[in-house]
Amino acid sequence: MPDVMVEDEVSSPASSSTDDSDNWSSDEDESGSDSTVTAVQTPSAEYNQLMTAAITAITTFKAEMDEKIDKEIAARFKEVDRVLDIKVKEMEQVVNVRLKEVEQTYKFQIQEIRQTVVEIQEQQRAFGQKLLELKWEIQLQREAVENVNTRSAKRRRSHTDPELEAA
C-alpha cells in the first residue's frame, strides 16, 4: 500500500471560497484553516506502486500472449497435421498405383520368361532328337563305309591272292 497522509477534515467545494478558479486549489476554508485531504507519497512509495502495476500489467499481458501463441501454435500444428495426412494419402495412392503398374509389368515379364523357357525346352528336345538322328545316320554311314571297305579289301585280296578266291 502506498504511504498516504490524510489531514483531519475534508473540505467540500461549497465550504471553500466562492471564486470558481480557487474552488479546488485552495487549502483553506472560510475559517482560514487547512482542511483538504492531501495524499503525500514518497518517491519510493510511488515507484513501488508503479512497479507493482507495471509488473502486474506485464504478467497479465505475457499470460494472454502465451495463451494466444499456444492456441495459434496448436492451430498451426493441427493444420499441418491435416495437410500432411492429405499428402500422405495422396502419396499412398500414387505409390499403390505405381506398385500395381510394376506388378503388372513383372507378371507380364514372368509370363514372357516362362513362354521363352517352354520354347527353349522344345528347341532342346528338337535339337536332341535331331542330334540322335544325326548320330544314327553317322553310325549307319560309318557302318556302310566299313562294309564297303571290307568288301573292297576282300575283292582286292581275291584278285591278288588265288587262295582267297577259292575260299
pLDDT value at 109 more than 80: yes
pLDDT value at 55 more than 90: yes
Model pLDDT for residues 62-81, shown as the tens digit of each residue: 999 999 999 999 999 999 99
41 — pLDDT class (breaks 50, 70, 90): low
**What mean pLDDT do residues 37-45 have?**
68
Is 29:59 a contact under the CB 8 Å cutoff? no
Burial class, 7, CB count within 10 angstroms (exposed 0-12 / middle 13-18 / buried 19+): middle
C-alpha cell at 118: 517352354
The count of other CB atoms within 10 Å of the CB of residue 139 is: 10
Average pLDDT of the chain, as a whole number: 79
Worst-scoring range by mean pLDDT, 41-45, 54-58, 98-102, 139-143?
Answer: 41-45
37 — pLDDT class (breaks 50, 70, 90): low
Read off the pTM.
Answer: 0.39
Separation of alpha carbons 48 and 61, rounded Å = 20
